[in-house]
Amino acid sequence: MVVFKKIADLQAYLHQQKTSGTDIGFIPTMGALHKGHISLLGEAKKAGCLSVCSIFVNPTQFNDKEDFEKYPTSLEADMTLLLDAGCDVLFLPPVTEMYPAGTEEASKYDLGYLDTVLEAAHRPGHFKGVAQIVAKLLDAVQPQKLYMGQKDYQQCMVVRKMIEIDNRDVAMVICPTQREDDGLAMSSRNRRLTDPQRAVAGIIYQCLVSILTKKGNADFAIVRKECFDLMKHKGLEPDYVELADANDLTILSNYNGRPMVALIAAKVGNVRLIDNMIL
């Protein structure tokens, strides 16, 4: 695995590799890697791509200073995981490399409706920051394929919109959510859970499963209330339990016959977790 910290060095290396005709598969991450991240790398490798992972904790997408400061880092362990998984290139830029003019630089992306609902309503400015950094990373890496996780469903839609706005020539590959044995979606934030918090965090997945199984034979308002009650009973603090159109994230008041996605955000202690399931 070759490691680069500077865009110019990365680009010089990738330019050499491109002449061999291999596609570049890019996996942007914020580190604290787990099997979910590694599954994205696995997909890029399965597709025969030269795999490029980035680790960059992007300051402009954190609306909560404490969340940014407490974001877990584990660079040595991350590098071991990437090496073991056969990652070809690791891009590890410092903040000054991605934001040479400073992190006050405004994001130019108008994400419209996507920037008003669900996560956007709870984390103002978050997705503008996501669009901004993924665009910068795509400029640096210039991959043919971009691998992202369904775990962050709204983020995938935001990045798809940014790709459309910029008319970028990159194919997005959305990979399934990797889960722990009790169904909890793998997340870097899970390591901040205490043992008792970890023991109840799987309730989020159970709620998603119950939303799925009740599709077609229950009123969603009732199912949502059951989910809220169950989560609260177990000591979680739900932010939202929503049903949305899987294609454009229009919020739905009840089940319909079209592709839908159920989305949940809840706090377990001071750790905010999100998950979703396509119905």
Q: Which of residues 33-62 bind ligand AMP (CB under 6 A)?
A: 36-37, 39-40
Nearest CB to ligand AMP, comparing residues 185 and 207: 185
Chain centroid offset of residue 213 CA: 25
Chain centroid offset of residue 2 CA: 24
152 binds ligand AMP (CB under 6 A): yes
Range 192-201, long-range pairs (CB < 8 A, 24+ positions): 192/70, 192/72, 192/270, 192/271, 193/268, 193/269, 193/271, 194/269, 197/268, 197/269, 197/271, 200/234, 200/235, 200/236, 200/268, 201/236, 201/268, 201/273
Nearest CB to ligand AMP, comparing residues 200 and 273: 273
**CB atoms inside a 10 Å sphere around CB 247:** 11
Question: Of 7, 24, 186, 243, which one interacts with ligand AMP (CB under 6 A)?
Answer: 186
Q: Are strands 251-252 and 237-245 parallel, antiparallel or unpaired?
A: antiparallel
**Using CA atoms, how far apart are residues 25 and 140, in angstroms rounded to an integer?**
13
Q: Which of residues 221-260 bind ligand AMP (CB under 6 A)?
A: none
Q: Which stretch binds ligand AMP (CB under 6 A): 15-23, 30-38, 97-105, 227-235?
A: 30-38
175 binds ligand AMP (CB under 6 A): yes
Nearest CB to ligand AMP, comparing residues 148 and 279: 148
Smallest distance from ligand AMP to CB 164, Å:
18
Question: Of 10, 30, 87, 200, which one interacts with ligand AMP (CB under 6 A)?
Answer: 30
**Using CA atoms, how far apart are residues 20 and 66, in angstroms rounded to an integer?**
45
Nearest CB to ligand AMP, comparing residues 90 and 223: 90
Question: Of 7, 148, 243, 279, which one interacts with ligand AMP (CB under 6 A)?
Answer: 148
Helix locations, 73-194, DSSP H: 75-84, 95-98, 119-122, 126-141, 153-166
Catalytically annotated residue among 37, 122, 126, 233: 37
Count of residues engaged in binding ligand AMP, rule: CB under 6 A: 17
Nearest CB to ligand AMP, comparing residues 73 and 253: 73
Q: Is the separation of the CB atoms in 115 and 124 below 8 Å?
A: no
Question: Of 54, 60, 107, 178, which one interacts with ligand AMP (CB under 6 A)?
Answer: 178
| 61 token code pair | 């997408």
**Using CA atoms, how far apart are residues 71 and 75, in angstroms rounded to an integer?**
12
Q: Active-site residue 37, yes or no?
A: yes
Smallest distance from ligand AMP to CB 133, Å:
10
Question: Of 157, 185, 244, 260, which one interacts with ligand AMP (CB under 6 A)?
Answer: 185
177 binds ligand AMP (CB under 6 A): yes
**CA-based max dimension of the chain:** 58
H or E segment and range at residue 275: strand 271-278
The set of catalytic residues is 37
Give the residues lining the site for ligand AMP (CB under 6 A): 29-30, 36-37, 39-40, 148-149, 151-152, 175, 177-178, 185-188
